[in-house]
Structure 1
């Protein structure tokens, strides 16, 4: 698509409908948007005539625009997509699963770029224009997966932005991967990963300190996966918050999974939620259906930034998944019984980087003039319906560029 054009007949959430002081629906209006160099330059009601010279015009056909989605927890290097069907081999525990994965790493390495591209296309089709991917860094594979994923991401330049987490999947200490992690950070990884300092590395303090040392050395953010449940996982999170304070790494740490926050008494969860919010620690959840998950509602109420991701799927860990972020947030809404108009519309923020279309009073928050022109055009009357019914995605626009789907192209206006 051109760098500058009009996008006509875009439906936007435009306010709430109130009855007896309660929100019972969403008002929408048709707008025309002028996109200029990847930014929304003008927003005007569709009924207002457009005057322009030699400007291309695209018609959204009354589709609803939503903020583009962000997939914040993925493993592009693990997927079987693009290969013949293969189900999973059952594993009794995490360590057994890691050992099974290690056996196939070398075999999968040569197809890394191809497989990752299949996954990226699936995510893009679902409306995601940003992905945070974890990439295995370990003695079994070295930096090969990183190299393959970087090539795949290059092919989606202009369509998807990305972050790369150097991820010691098989244990930072357990596999003596510190030097490889430093190499990965030198070779293009942007975030330092970590994994279960207790359950995998068997030394919480040493593992956390080494992870933090690498992050400080490279002035990088952290994304640590803590699957350990109950007291073990909670103690690990407590030690991590102490390290964040000591290193002054506020607003630079993400805590993925964090199942332990849902395992402990509610009083402890509240206390920790307050600490995490004060330190600016984000929580990344995959909304699992087969185990306890962190209390997203409580964390959000305390001001903790919560984001969602699909994790690994179609791989040695799980044969299930869709790569659909709208489905992911719909599952979250179902888990918390968010069935009313307001709750459904607000839930969208968990897959958009915190962006909401409306505030509690019905004032439009998105889009605004000056916003990045990244959006998903869906078949729905409003954002609440889009979440509840997992609306079809007809087109995805990334930084003003049509990244997926199609739009009606009209002749230039005179």
Structure 2
């Protein structure tokens, strides 16, 4: 395939050759070349790597359903209880909701996804199996990792650990944990179970950390201790972590150095809370950072629309990014930053000026988007998009062209 007349990272007009699932050549645009039957006309659009949503809850989605009054209370347990009280009563079945949300994400340019699947004594493996079904349905259009997630904690309800292990035995890709101090109130036991199961099934770890201040720092230090002791460098991610940068400067610096040393990555959902670790300093130190949408208009929140370009705007906005370089860096985080978390074979971003993913030999997971510059694309978030996964066009004009299989 030849992608004609595109601007990689908004640079000069270029023709990009694909061979199989890889970029085979990047050359100046030749307007005299006759287009082939399988060529893609870039029409001067910007070419970027496809988006990587590395923190999304496909299993709780209400995308495509009518808006409803938000009935959740404050805090993780109240929100989780609200979801439990309502998710079975949605207007359409769970499998259809999950698959429809993943399809909408792909149509907007996301071809790499790390989705959580809640597993507990209430839903057992029902939500996990719905995410598996969607993953299989769109196997030709996106790479999906599934994290088995104890949203209600591990220790509060007997039997939870058994269901978590059953999901890992069935093939889950990542072992999850959540707020070891605040939710389960036994951080050592909680994390021992998470890391023991991850080690037993040889999967990565991803910990939801909503804890603020010194409590969040304490949990992070326990996570780092286990990462080092078990030799799990490069296999651990901390999600949210929106309070780790608000203690003091020395603690912030020490945590950044620890993340970089142990290759502990960090996923943000661009929250309004701005006490997270500083993004630019973390990147320069060598910390992998990814972006996700979190919930998708669900029983937790009315926010989320399946468009990671929209969330890139939010990441730039809440961090006060105004310089073009920093807005471009936000987009690099939303694309290759997340890809480097899903696969440590993908190099981490080297600096805030690093614009990878479009060189010869790189995987042909790409999005063509309209815009004058990267900053204007993030600000305007246009709909003229073409999505390529593994060297094949899988979506155009916000519509997925085909799916691997149906239910």
TM-score range, shorter chain: 0.7 to 0.9
The answer to which of 360-369 and 140-149 deviates more is 360-369
1:16 aligned partner? none
1:68-147 paired onto structure 2 within 5 Å: 68-107=50-89, 111-147=93-129
Offset at residue 129 of structure 1 (A): 0.8
Bigger Rg, which one:
1
Task: Give deviations 1:97-126, integer Å, cap 9, x for gaps.
Answer: 222222234445982211112211221232
Q: CA deviation at 1:335?
A: 2.8
Q: Confirm whether residue 399 of structure 1 aligns to residue 390 of structure 2.
A: yes
Secondary structure of the structure 2 residue equivalent to 1:139:
coil
Cα pair 2:153 2:183 within 8 Å, conserved: yes
Q: How does 1:6-405 map to 2 (within 5 A)?
A: 6-13=2-9, 28-47=11-30, 50=33, 56-107=38-89, 111-176=93-158, 177-289=160-272, 292-354=275-337, 365-405=356-396
After TM superposition, the structure 1 stretch with the greater mean CA deviation from structure 2, 321-330 or 272-281, is: 321-330
Distance (whole Å) between structure 1 residues aligned to residue 34 and residue 379 of structure 2? 38
TM-score with structure 2 setting the length: 0.88
Aligned residues: CA RMSD: 2.6
Contact 2:284 2:352 in 1 (8 A): no
Superposed displacement of residue 84, structure 1: 3.4
Query: Judging changes above 3 Å, is the alpha-carbon distance between structure 1 residues 125 and 173 closer, same or farther for their aligned structure 2 residues?
Result: same
CA contact (8 A) 1:105 1:140 kept: no
SS in 1 for 2:59: coil
Over residues 345-384 of structure 1, what are the superposed CA-to-partner deviations in whole Å (9 max), with x where a residue is unaligned?
233221112389x998989754222221111111112323
- 3-state SS of 1:376 partner: strand
Distance across 2 between alignment mates of 1:91 and 1:364:
41
**1:282-336 CA deviation, whole Å, 9 max, x = no partner?**
0111111256444323322322111110001311110122222122222222233
- In the alignment, structure 1 segments of 5+ residues that lack a partner are 14-25, 408-414
TM-score by length of 1: 0.87
Alignment check: 8 A CA contact 2:72 2:299 kept: no
Counterparts in 2 of 1:336 and 1:92: CA distance versus 1, 3 Å = closer
Q: Alpha-carbon deviations, 1:216-239, whole Å to 9, x = none? A: 000110001011112211111111
Structure 2's unaligned 5+ residue stretches are: 340-346, 399-407
Question: Does the CA contact (< 8 Å) of 1:261 and 1:269 recur in 2?
Answer: yes
**Contact map agreement 2:336 2:356 (CA 8 A) in 1:** no
* Aligned-residue offset at 1:32: 1.8
SS in structure 2 at match of 1:10? strand
In the comparison of the two structures, how many residue pairs are matched? 388
Counterparts in 2 of 1:322 and 1:364: CA distance versus 1, 3 Å: closer
SS at match of 1:115: helix
Classify the secondary structure of the residue corresponding to 1:129: strand
- Higher strand proportion: 1
